[in-house]
Structure 1
Amino acid sequence: MNILICFKVVPDLNMLSDEDWIVNANLEVDISFARVILNCFDESAIEMGLKLRDEFQVSNSECYLTALTIGDESADLCLKTLNSLRFDKTVRVNNNKDLRFWPEIITEVISQFASKVEEQDVLLFGMQSDVGNNAKTPLLVAEKLGYPCITQVIEITKDSNETLKVISLTDNGILKQTITTPCVLSIGNAPKTYMRVPTLKDRMTYGKKPIEVLDLYDFDVSEILKVTYDTYKVKSLKKINNKRESIIIKETNSKENAQALYNFYLKERLKQL
């Protein structure tokens, strides 16, 4: 089984203070000093892919694991870590454009890779990234490839060489399915999916394996770039005010605090009900 895990590295925005959120003349916020980390949902997707490969290996079945990301050299450290975790192939599509808000372009690259460069049976995605947060990419890729897509996946296990058991969250509870491949799986808030850490021996043995680097223009995206990225420009950028109005209750004891809370807030809410 061929499994493609698509991931994104994102800046660690927790490193920014309030004073760092300054919009420059190019309508950008300088985050060049922030370290890059794996998107949290993608980290879960990677670990679930590794667990699935382990199951195939236990049953002596073939499983070929590929990692794909789109970005600049800042992603190479993460790709080296995946090499250390014995991924069969790690691929970076070189790109220096800001594609955070253009899932259509990302979709084209991934779908063309999965159908024309190397045919894939299962595509794993984190459901959304910390930057952009559009949550569209897995769905658009599935539509482009004509594959079924399951969202909010929290567990994947091997059923046979061609079928998987997938558990996902729905509005009505937990859904358990046995599905055939090919398919696209979008990983949600999956428990116990912290990405494993490679051993020092594996880092020394496998970490130096070369990363395959492709170019964005190796894919047929020129027309989409012209229509989207080169046509639509950012007009304004401002920080969202997250402060909330509040009332501080300072009575002498808990009974008076509770009465004040009722008088100021709950009394009117109950009237509306």
Structure 2
Amino acid sequence: MTDSTGELTAKEIKKRKRRLPPPDPEALPGLVDAHTHLAACGGRTEADVRAILDHAESVGVEQVVTVADDMVDARWAVAAAHWDRRAFAAVGLHPTHAADLDDEARAELEQMVDDPRVVAVGETGLDYYWTTRSDDCADPTTQRDAFAWHIDLAKRSGKALMIHNRDADRDLLDVLAAEGAPETVVMHCFSGDRAIARECVDLGYVLSFSGTVTFNNSGELREAALLTPDEQLLVETDAPFLTPHPYRGQPNQSYCVPYTARALAALRGVDDHELAHTLGANARRIYKFPLR
């Protein structure tokens, strides 16, 4: 769209910019993208996955965990984790898809978690945001039942439990308490305030921060990141969403992890290379990555 002089309007310039990927950050070795969606980033073939991970590795992001939303995604995530040694999988049903957890899905997920390339159960949890905005979203009761089943699967398998939480802080923590949390709980894309963060930290849960911690309106989230101990801290993209500032709204991929890692380092007043080493080591320990 142009104005009367043939020049692009400000709206069109902004629209075009949002379609552009962010520039490569300065390399920050040792990082792991603790939660991404490779398929949604365009990685539908072995060659595409390799290209995404080559790009990430070129800026220091050495490994990724690609995460399933539904059963189709779960099958694909396991396949991707076998295509490339730098990819690992998390399998489960997103709470919005909790109604799909029938006997067949349960049996298939139980088989999937036995795969050594699968390092987590999830993403699972509660999402109350979409219950009032989508006719296809599972209702809260169905979500809670599916969440309880995923908690049990994580305990039986010994794999980390990867949590999705949207607008359900109290209920989610109550379900975990009632069911008994597994050894390792990862609060993916942590979005709570400092009080919820403190509660999670005291329970021994791991808090994973995405590009949202860099947003201008995320002061409370930064306070949460500040109080999280080093050993309970992860960094992620949740790509293709949540691209860090100043590229918010543009396409996200695992190569953008250093932007968020550096923001966390600046916030915590530590050397960015030291924090990158800590974040990567945490991910490898928490997800029990096999030795190369």
- Establish whether TM, by shorter chain, passes 0.5: no
Give the TM interval when normalised to the shorter protein: under 0.3
Structure showing the higher strand proportion among its residues? 1
CA radius of gyration, larger in? 1
Which has the larger helix fraction? 2
Q: TM-score, normalised by structure 1?
A: 0.28
